Amino acid sequence: MLQNVGIVGFGAYIPANRLPVKEVAEFWGKEPKNIEKSLGVIEKAIPDEDEDAVTMGVEAGLAALKMGKVPPEKLEAIYVGSESHPYAVNPSATIIGEALGVGRNYLAADLEFACKAATAGMENLAGLLEADLINYGMVIGSDASQAKPHDALEYTVGAGAAAFILSRKKEKFLVQILDFASYSSDTPDFWRRDGIPYPSHQGRFSGKPAYFVHVTSAAKKLLEKNKMKPADFSYCVFHMPNGKFPLEAALTLGFEKKQLEPGLIVGQIGNPYSASSLLGLCSVLEVAKPNDLIFLTSYGSGAGADSFILKTTKLLNTARKRVSGIKEYLNNRREISYSKYLRLTNKIL
């Protein structure tokens, strides 16, 4: 169990552009209702021409600093998890740190582990904090996800960012991180070679032997370690590649649908990869009450999962009013056509 690690600020960012799934389906001659029903996704968020993983990360980071009332120069570490870093060689973390005004005295690192890179960063920060090596650190999950035209992923990949400031200052905790556990293996369900613009995947193989095995294994490991059961939690959040996988995983583990629903936002934004589970957590934290227990599990192809046990404090309600929330971003939407989507994502010029 962790003793000195908590969340003191968090922020989100979701682009306003929305591409309805029906636009994609109709373009390729598919039945929209069948696609929407099978995936549990109605529309997805798309970055505008001046947005990418870095700009979205900056927006989320600024919100987290504002919520936590943390001066940027107090940050001693920044981890950025993404699989769509704008540069292959040139860190996103230092660009974001510069934009946030962090200064020079901080550790910066970009992390990659498919959709769970940011939660891996949370674990790394937790170790630094628990060892009393730093007082404040920020982790960001930000992605402008890619998909090849006419690939199944094109219906679901989205964009967005979430930022969390972790600290050992207990008097400032909005949420305490009580414990975490991870489960990893070499299961190549999803990959993208260097220099290749779009990822490849193993279709249905990415379900049972990949997502479900790793998510349920990490979750069971953490529950057993802490002698807890699903009924002990007010909410649960699972990585959302679509609307069906997280629900099936939750029910398999013994959680109820009502525990999952407040964070199940994939139907309105798609899957923003490294930001997916963390944006779901942001959504839950907008409605959680003091002393609520939250169970969070991310997933990254290749493959691995990270599970966390979180507990809210009485400071959360006041702090979350300082910034725009998930609901505001979900309501701030402008519908775009499939042709504009192709232009914005550089699939056509």
Catalytic residues: 83, 115, 239
Answer for the pair 194, 64: CB distance below 8 angstroms, yes or no. no
Closest CA to 237 of 175, 194, 186, 193: 175
Handedness of CA 109, 110, 113, 116 (dihedral sign): positive
- Return d(Cα 5, Cα 176) in angstroms, integer: 6
- Please state the φ and ψ torsions of residue 324, each to the nearest 5 degrees: -65, 140
- Return d(Cα 69, Cα 38) in angstroms, integer: 43
Please name every residue paired with 113 in a beta bridge, in sequence order, or none if there are none.
Answer: 115
Answer for the pair 279, 269: CB distance below 8 angstroms, yes or no. yes
Answer for the pair 59, 13: CB distance below 8 angstroms, yes or no. yes
Supply 167's token pair.
């600290």
